């Protein structure tokens, strides 16, 4: 990532974290400095989690894989509502579930966007001059939606044309929020089947990856990119089963997202299915707090775009958002990881109850050190480990420590990788 700084010492990470905590309390930024906080939100319709994972394992979606490699991601985002496109994108763009936004079909009939608008409307309550643009070839999202906060809504005829339109928009220095929606994977699923075993479906995902690459290249080519604080969010709205979706099967409900960009660390979030509002008992209220779900997208976006402002704080209760921000507590703002290093580190589960496994893969025979600190920089766990066979697993128990966010650094020689651990 061009925005990341390389770090040589844990000490520097600690220093930056203290600064991050101040940011989250809203004490050091003047209002107008938020102009630099920007978001590219790319939505690909109808991509099952297992399908994307398989394509990544086979290195067939290099542009998306690059975002995952250096971003915060999950293959465990769960759909709690109606797995149709209109309700699903509404969950993500408003940050509330369908009992509030009231969109239950692709007709968008009865929607209550006056009470629960898309997140750009919320951002503009704090940043009135923010500029937001939507690009989609799927006309219901453009034609049937009001009070969405977009300054411009473009409806190119195809995904190719959407990518070109997005590239043009990204030249605009004044742009703050761009939402680009790609529809062809969903069409391939309806035509051939939503299934990793169906080549036409998988080829459609591989193809849209090239569109994602074009859009991201245009982002990185912005004249002032180095001075802007962009976060890319990439996700899907639902999976599918057979040639349809809209139901409650796991393959329709099990989706994914990735966030990448300014201050976002390299980290995987795993989570168990909290259940659905559509069948059985109500979703598990505790799991909703720890598992990624669709409504988190808008809330995370708002948190990035108006970080820690009095404006956001004073409006939060009125907005009555259901989602949670993955930027909470300043926790994602780890200013830099050494992303070129040889270490691959995974934490399971994460978030967790304090007990978790750390799996470290090394490509050469160096010993390494695992250090956990709290956000104040105090070390809570430290262990030296020897290299053996390129792979090792370590069990960590933080049950005696308070719930919250911890940072785990794995050091090998002068290489370091830092990941966030969330204890609930």
- Best CA proximity match to 265, nearest among 70, 407, 1, 91: 70
Q: CA–CA distance from 172 to each of 37, 216, 219, 233 (Å)?
A: 15, 14, 10, 19
Closest approach, Cβ 355 to Zn ion, in A, equals 37
Q: Considering the rule CB under 5 A, would residue 45 count as an interface residue with Zn ion?
A: yes
Q: Tell me how far apart the 2 most distant CA atoms of the chain are, in Å.
A: 62
Judged by beta carbon, residue 46 or residue 196, the one nearer Zn ion is 46
Binding-site residue total for Zn ion (CB under 5 A)? 5
Judged by beta carbon, residue 89 or residue 230, the one nearer Zn ion is 89
Q: CA–CA distance from 3 to each of 96, 265, 335, 419 (Å)?
A: 31, 12, 9, 17
Closest approach, Cβ 139 to Zn ion, in A, equals 13
Q: Which residues contact 30 (CB under 8 A, 6 or more apart)?
A: none
Judged by beta carbon, residue 208 or residue 305, the one nearer Zn ion is 208
Closest approach, Cβ 237 to Zn ion, in A, equals 4
Judged by beta carbon, residue 82 or residue 343, the one nearer Zn ion is 82
Closest approach, Cβ 369 to Zn ion, in A, equals 45
Task: List binders of Zn ion among 287-316 (CB under 5 A).
Answer: none
Judged by beta carbon, residue 85 or residue 373, the one nearer Zn ion is 85
Question: Which residue, judged by CB position, is nearest to Zn ion in the bound state?
Answer: 85
Of the candidates 85, 134, 300, 418, which one interacts with Zn ion according to CB under 5 A? Answer: 85
Closest approach, Cβ 212 to Zn ion, in A, equals 17
Q: Which residues contact 125 (CB under 8 A, 6 or more apart)?
A: 311, 315
Judged by beta carbon, residue 245 or residue 324, the one nearer Zn ion is 245
Task: List binders of Zn ion among 170-189 (CB under 5 A).
Answer: 186
Task: List binders of Zn ion among 195-254 (CB under 5 A).
Answer: 237
* Interface positions with Zn ion (CB under 5 A): 45-46, 85, 186, 237
């Amino acid at each position: 990532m061009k925005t990341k700084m390389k770090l040589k010492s844990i000490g520097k990470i600690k220093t930056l974290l203290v600064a991050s905590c101040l940011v989250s309390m809203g004490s050091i930024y003047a209002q107008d400095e938020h102009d630099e906080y920007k978001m590219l939100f790319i939505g690909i319709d109808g991509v099952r989690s297992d399908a994307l994972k398989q394509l990544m394992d086979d290195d067939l979606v290099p542009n998306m894989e690059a975002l995952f490699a250096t971003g915060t991601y999950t293959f465990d985002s769960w759909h709690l509502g109606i797995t149709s496109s209109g309700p699903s994108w509404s969950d993500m763009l408003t940050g509330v579930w369908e009992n509030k936004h009231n969109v239950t079909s692709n007709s968008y009939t009865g929607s209550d966007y006056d009470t629960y608008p898309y997140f750009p409307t919320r951002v503009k309550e704090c940043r009135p001059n923010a500029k937001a643009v939507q690009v989609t070839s799927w006309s219901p999202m453009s034609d049937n939606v009001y009070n969405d906060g977009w300054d411009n809504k473009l409806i190119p005829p195809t995904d190719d044309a959407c990518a070109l339109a997005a590239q043009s928009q990204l030249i605009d220095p004044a742009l703050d929020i761009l939402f680009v929606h790609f529809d062809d994977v969903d069409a391939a699923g309806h035509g051939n089947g939503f299934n990793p075993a169906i080549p036409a479906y998988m080829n459609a995902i591989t193809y849209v990856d090239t569109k994602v690459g074009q859009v991201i290249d245009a982002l990185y080519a912005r004249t002032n990119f180095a001075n802007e604080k962009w976060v890319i969010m990439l996700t899907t709205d639902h999976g599918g089963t057979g040639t349809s979706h809209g139901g409650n099967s796991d393959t329709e409900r099990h989706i994914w997202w990735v966030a990448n960009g300014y201050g976002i660390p390299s980290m995987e979030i795993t989570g168990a299915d909290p259940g659905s509002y559509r069948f059985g008992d109500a979703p598990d209220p505790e799991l909703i707090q720890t598992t990624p779900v669709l409504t988190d997208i808008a809330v995370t976006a708002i948190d990035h775009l108006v970080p820690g402002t009095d404006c956001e704080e004073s409006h939060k209760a009125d907005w009555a958002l259901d989602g949670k921000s993955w930027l909470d507590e300043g926790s994602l703002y780890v200013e830099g990881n050494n992303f070129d290093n040889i270490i691959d580190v995974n934490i399971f589960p994460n978030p967790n109850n304090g007990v978790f496994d750390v799996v470290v893969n090394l490509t050469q025979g160096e010993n390494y050190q695992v250090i956990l600190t709290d956000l104040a920089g105090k070390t809570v766990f430290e262990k030296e480990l020897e290299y053996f066979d390129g792979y090792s697993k370590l069990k960590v128990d933080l049950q005696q420590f308070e719930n919250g966010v911890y940072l785990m650094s794995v050091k090998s020689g002068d290489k370091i990788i830092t990941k966030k651990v969330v204890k609930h």
